[in-house]
Structure 1
Amino acid sequence: MTITTERPPAGRRTVALGRGFLTGGVIGMSPAALVVGTVVESVPLFVAGLAVPLLYGLLLFLAGAPRRAREAAAAPRTALALIEDREAVVGETSDVPVRFELTVAPDDAPPFRVTVTQDVHVVDLPDHRPGGVVVVEYPPDRPWRVRIVQRPTPEWEERAAGARLDSEPGAAVVAEPPEGTAVGFVTLLGLVLGATAVILLFRADLFGQDAAARPPATPQPAVSSTSWTVVVSSASGSVALGPGRSFLDEGELRRAVDSLTGGAGAHEALTVVVQERLVSVVFAPAGARGPRFDPRSLPFERIPALVEEARTTLGVPSAPAWQLTADRLTGSLTLKVAVTGPEGPASLEADGQGKVVRRTPAR
């Protein structure tokens, strides 16, 4: 079986590298600005930590408008396809994500094989068995973006009903050209530089204050080791993991939250931001009213699955970084998992029990 992939053009790779670096910088700067802005009591810095990701997302959306217009103007190709195999992914809604392996047989081109993931309503699953013939559409220049047509035209529906397609073991396998490891590296570099830039710009406010002038009842203890670093103040706290560890590992995130709240829920939070190796909590001021929640109430067992679902079902298969934000700005506890890759930003939202309520795929 021949796998067909092509190296992306140099111009596209340069754009992907630049976008990856900027994305990493925004992901690193945003939580650092929220935490540092709270510690040094800088309202502009705190607002910047909230506003910059929104503005960057809007910029990516506008920058991708010409490409989306070109894609919308190109008429998709329609063809018949044989379902070689399928695998349903566990879902909590009536639309179940299903991974299909298809052999696509265009009328005017050689057949090819492709693997796609598509949401299928539970009542339509019996119509998508292995060995069945379905109608598909795909962009002429991106055959790896095959989509099964749920309601084809009568002509194509009649063709599919009477067609008999044979499996093509030797057919070419098409897949999206990989961006390579360089994009992931520059994204990580941007993340580190973004967080470091915020800390260095405000290092005088963070570390230059006279410790003797602080009230003895509000110390800022820090516990550090090669694999675990905890910094807590009356207004915020953060935990950073060492190399080789992740907050998606079992029990890591719960232990980090317990270390920041003293294990007894002594602090209620305004926001909780979680990344691969960094968790930041902005505590609610004592006595102040507002949307707050107990960080211990997060659905810790569901968070790894939510991140995995965001990485695999939102059209960003090469997402190098993710960020989960928990808050009650809308009244009830909401978890938002954001991922960004060369395809653009995407996100999903879940309620306080970790049940997905909204998906925003990459466009």
Structure 2
Amino acid sequence: MTTAAGAPPTQDAPSNLARGFLTGGVIGASLAAFIGGCVIGKASLIALGPALSAAYGLAVFLATLPRRVREAAVVPRTALALIEGLEAVGGEASDVPVRFELSVVPDGAPAFRVRIRQEINLVELPDYRPRGVVVVEYPPDRPWKARIVKRPTPEWERRVAGARLDSVPGPASREEGSSGCAGGLLTVLGLLLGAAVVLLLFRTELFAAVEDGNGASGPAVTSSSSSSSTTVTVTSATGTVALGPGQSLLDQGELRKAVESLTGGTEQRRALAVVVQDRLLTVVFAPAGGPSPGFDPRSLPYDRVPGLVEEARNTLGVRAPKSWQLTADGLTGALTLRVVVAGDGGAGTLEADGRGEVLRRSGG
């Protein structure tokens, strides 16, 4: 960040890179453990996936607790700021995420330029215009955490009414320290390595399960390819649909058609999990015989999936999102959808219920 004098501290890029790598590794290992456990019918491995994610979340919480306590003790500074530009970046609720670029002019300190994202109510959105003056609060040691004060005190309202601010030259600092493309690449690398570690540790059981699934006691593997380069593969434990170049499961009707291609026929197969990526669908089927756990994969809220992915890309604070993955499971009884978005500096998760209504967001 460039200021009039004395650049403030920025976040540590190596720390962001390491966190992105670890986050990707945990996501990859958790998914591989869960799907692998379903394939070989090993309950401990199925439970390892959610347990690993929960343990990682707890470890991150405890590791960052001292820093967050120190940051909470810092008294925020109040200042006037000039709106250089603003852009609504999506959202369907009454509060719309808006990206602001501000020239902040504090009393007795160098002015600086900053770029932030903040949710603004649709009714109040017309009150924020380019070249308008607003009141902001920010920690002095973390100016990228600036937030617009929506209800300033009467004293600051009077200062806003009579203020005439000039633009601050120089590039704007961002909400988070930037780690560039390396952050996204390390996150993807961590995801692949995490999945590979789990697969290597349990390769004997997995290969044995595949051989059993191809034997006389189980249905044979079936696969077919259409003229559009779509490949469908079904075994006793899983089913996959891989789309060709230029296609996406977010296209209208594609996800529904892909799921039905795996669940067609007279047998109503239930699923333990459904994993959706841009061009790859994976369904982990419930074991045949006995009570049928899981859920009907045809009950997914198909029409809400593209919107959930778009909302996750725009509202989780993940810079330059490079990949996404939606996982549907009914392990807790009710169908739950989780959209994980990975990009520069880390990943974020959006969780929704079986109707596609957003429950919570985390990460970013």
Band the TM-score falls in, shorter-chain normalisation: 0.7 to 0.9
Q: Aligned pairs, how many?
A: 357
The separation in 1 between residues aligned to 2:148 and 2:311, in whole angstroms, is 21
Task: Check 1:361–1:177 CA distance in 2 against 1; reply closer, same or farther (3 A cut).
Answer: closer
Give, in angstroms, the shift of residue 216 of structure 1. 5.1
Match of 1:108 in 2: 108
Give, in angstroms, the shift of residue 117 of structure 1. 1.9
Match of 2:172 in 1: 173
The separation in 1 between residues aligned to 2:61 and 2:320, in whole angstroms, is 18
Task: Check 1:211–1:52 CA distance in 2 against 1; reply closer, same or farther (3 A cut).
Answer: closer
The separation in 2 between residues aligned to 1:229 and 1:37, in whole angstroms, is 24
Letter in 2 for 1:316: V
Letter in 2 for 1:23: T
Letter in 2 for 1:288: P
- Verify the 8 A CA contact 2:241 2:280 in the aligned structure 1: yes
Find 1:236's aligned residue among 216, 233, 238.
238
- Verify the 8 A CA contact 1:298 1:352 in the aligned structure 2: yes
- Verify the 8 A CA contact 2:113 2:170 in the aligned structure 1: yes
Q: Map of 1:1-363 to 2, 5 A cutoff?
A: 12-166=12-166, 168=167, 170-175=169-174, 176-208=176-208, 211=212, 214-215=215-216, 218-221=219-222, 231-239=233-241, 253-254=255-256, 256-262=258-264, 266-275=268-277, 278-285=280-287, 288=291, 290=293, 292-293=295-296, 295-317=297-319, 321-328=323-330, 332-339=334-341, 346-360=348-362, 362=364
Give, in angstroms, the shift of residue 147 of structure 1. 1.0
- Verify the 8 A CA contact 1:315 1:343 in the aligned structure 2: no
Task: Check 1:121–1:270 CA distance in 2 against 1; reply closer, same or farther (3 A cut).
Answer: same
Aligned-pair RMSD on alpha carbons? 3.7
The separation in 2 between residues aligned to 1:126 and 1:272, in whole angstroms, is 42
Letter in 1 for 2:219: T
The separation in 2 between residues aligned to 1:233 and 1:125, in whole angstroms, is 53
**Structure-1-length-normalised TM-score:** 0.81
Look up the SS of the partner of 1:22 in the other structure: helix
Give, in angstroms, the shift of residue 231 of structure 1. 4.4
Task: Check 1:13–1:127 CA distance in 2 against 1; reply closer, same or farther (3 A cut).
Answer: closer
Please give the per-residue CA displacement for 1:136-157, whole angstroms capped at 9, x wherever unaligned: 1122233222211112223222
**Structure-2-length-normalised TM-score:** 0.80
Give, in angstroms, the shift of residue 212 of structure 1. 9.4
Where structure 2 has 5 or more consecutive residues not aligned to the other structure, the ranges are none
The separation in 2 between residues aligned to 1:103 and 1:312, in whole angstroms, is 24
Task: Check 1:315–1:62 CA distance in 2 against 1; reply closer, same or farther (3 A cut).
Answer: farther
- Verify the 8 A CA contact 1:35 1:280 in the aligned structure 2: no
The separation in 1 between residues aligned to 2:200 and 2:156, in whole angstroms, is 62
**What stretches of structure 1 move > 6 A for 4+ residues in a row?**
1-9, 241-246, 341-344
Give, in angstroms, the shift of residue 88 of structure 1. 2.6
Look up the SS of the partner of 1:64 in the other structure: helix
The separation in 1 between residues aligned to 2:321 and 2:169, in whole angstroms, is 31
Task: Check 1:43–1:361 CA distance in 2 against 1; reply closer, same or farther (3 A cut).
Answer: closer
Give the fraction of aligned pairs with identical amino acids, expressed as a percent. Answer: 58
Letter in 2 for 1:25: G
Give, in angstroms, the shift of residue 28 of structure 1. 1.4
- Verify the 8 A CA contact 1:92 1:355 in the aligned structure 2: no
